[in-house]
Amino acid sequence: MDENNPTKSEAETEEVRTTPLLNINNQTTSKTETIDFPDLCPQSQKGGSHLREIQLPGLDPIKVAYCSYDDIGSGWWLVYRKLNRSRIFNRPYEDYERGFGNLELNFFDEFFIGLNRLHRLTREKPHELVLYAGSGTRRFDHFVVGDRSEGYKVKSIGNCTGDDVWMSPKQGSKFSTFDRYEDGVPGRNLAEEWGYGWWFEPSMRSIGNENHFIDMYIRKTD
């Protein structure tokens, strides 16, 4: 059994072995700063990606990658990266709440910051979102994620620009995993079929069994 790819039956018997929340190689950056939320990632960053440690009120510190790209600018935090044929994203709901994966500033690392942190970040201050999925790019100018009692649903996306990316989260959609499906598609569990957690909803049912690369970045707008 691949310890990074738990099966449904193992998750139900609470025998899932999860990867550490983060596996950071500190040699990838000369300095890791500890900051108190809601400080911004550097808007003047000239390019590339860097590691930084952040502290959200009431939660453990976490190291994140803040990034700058020619097409979208600086100050972005990587919050979700899933590669094609991912080996670690087929996980139970509780893992998605906590967050999981590797973060070493390597393009082939996979990582999710965690639903609870994503809720806290987007609740406290206005954020925008950039989504890369397949060959498309979509930008949302006001992204808000609800709390656990709301199923971590997308409460707002704001105005959308860019490509018509088929994985774009829809306002009102709840987060689904194989053991907690909220996709609204009768008789199906899209998270189980496709092998990862996401804000699935009925309009996605005609896409088929796809397993695309997905990257999500958020940035404060105030």
Cα 108 from chain centroid?
A: 15
Residues 6+ apart with CB under 8 A from 133: 165, 166, 167, 168, 212, 213, 214, 215
The model's pLDDT over 167-203, given as tens digits with 9 standing for 90+, comes to 899 999 999 999 999 999 999 999 998 899 999 999 8
Per-residue pLDDT, 74: 85
- The confidence band for 52, taking pLDDT boundaries of 50, 70 and 90, is confident
The model's pLDDT over 132-175, given as tens digits with 9 standing for 90+, comes to 987 789 999 999 999 999 999 999 999 999 998 888 999 999 99
In CATH, what class is 8-220? alpha beta
Over 90: is that where the pLDDT of 39 sits? no
Please give the Cα distance from 34 to 173 (Å, whole number). 33
Residue ranges covered by each domain of the chain = 8-220
Over 60: is that where the pLDDT of 126 sits? yes
Over 70: is that where the pLDDT of 121 sits? yes
The Cα-based distances of 161 to 31, 42, 137, 214, 216 in angstroms read: 35, 24, 9, 17, 15
